[in-house]
């Protein structure tokens, strides 16, 4: 009975293995959709309550001169959302805030079902 030599099979399989090891990508990427057109339309609508939040790097958020941590912020926002029929949250940040901190807060708010968040884009030209 003729037996097949395994050496060529091992060669081919090794090559395929190396190909897939090099070509495969395990990075999982997440996305967050932001609608820039909302911000300008909301600020001109007088019926909408605007809630302005200033993100700080030390894991706190400032609003109307008061400082909140994450839990206090949630409580404050839920209360504000109940009182207003329509609301919009505008998120701005101090200059030393990193993108990581900003995105973490946005994700935290969205996870807690606080939507209608707009990016507070500062127009430095207007200052």
Burial class (CB in 10 A: 0-12, 13-18, 19+), 56: middle
Cβ-proximal residues to 70 (8 Å cutoff; 6+ apart), any chain: 59, 108
Least distance from another protein to the Cβ atom of residue 84, Å: 25
Least distance from another protein to the Cβ atom of residue 18, Å: 10
Q: Give the C-alpha separation, 72 to 68, whole Å.
A: 5
Nearer to another protein, 84 or 97 (CB): 97
Tokens 């939040």 map to which residue?
Answer: 53
Least distance from another protein to the Cβ atom of residue 46, Å: 22
Nearer to another protein, 31 or 83 (CB): 31
Least distance from another protein to the Cβ atom of residue 64, Å: 21
How, if at all, do strands 66-68 and 61-63 pair? antiparallel
Nearer to another protein, 4 or 82 (CB): 4
Nearer to another protein, 8 or 83 (CB): 8
Which residues are near another protein by CB under 8 A?
A: 3, 5-7, 9-10, 13-14, 16-17, 20-21, 23-37, 40, 55, 93, 95-104, 106-107, 111, 119, 121-124
* CA nearest to 78, candidates 106, 42, 101, 51: 51
Q: Give the C-alpha separation, 106 to 36, whole Å.
A: 15
């Amino acid at each position: 009975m003729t037996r097949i030599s395994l050496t060529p099979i091992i060669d081919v399989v090794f090559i395929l293995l190396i190909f897939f090891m090099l070509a495969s990508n395990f990075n999982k990427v997440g996305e967050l959709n932001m609608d820039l057109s909302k911000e300008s339309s909301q600020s001109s609508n007088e019926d909408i309550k605007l809630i302005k939040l200033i993100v700080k790097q030390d894991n706190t958020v400032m609003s109307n001169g008061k400082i909140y941590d994450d839990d206090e912020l949630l409580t404050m926002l839920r209360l504000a959302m109940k009182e207003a029929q329509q609301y919009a949250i505008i998120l701005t940040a101090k200059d030393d805030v990193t993108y990581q901190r900003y995105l973490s807060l946005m994700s935290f708010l969205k996870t807690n079902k606080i939507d209608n968040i707009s990016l507070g884009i500062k127009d430095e030209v207007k200052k």
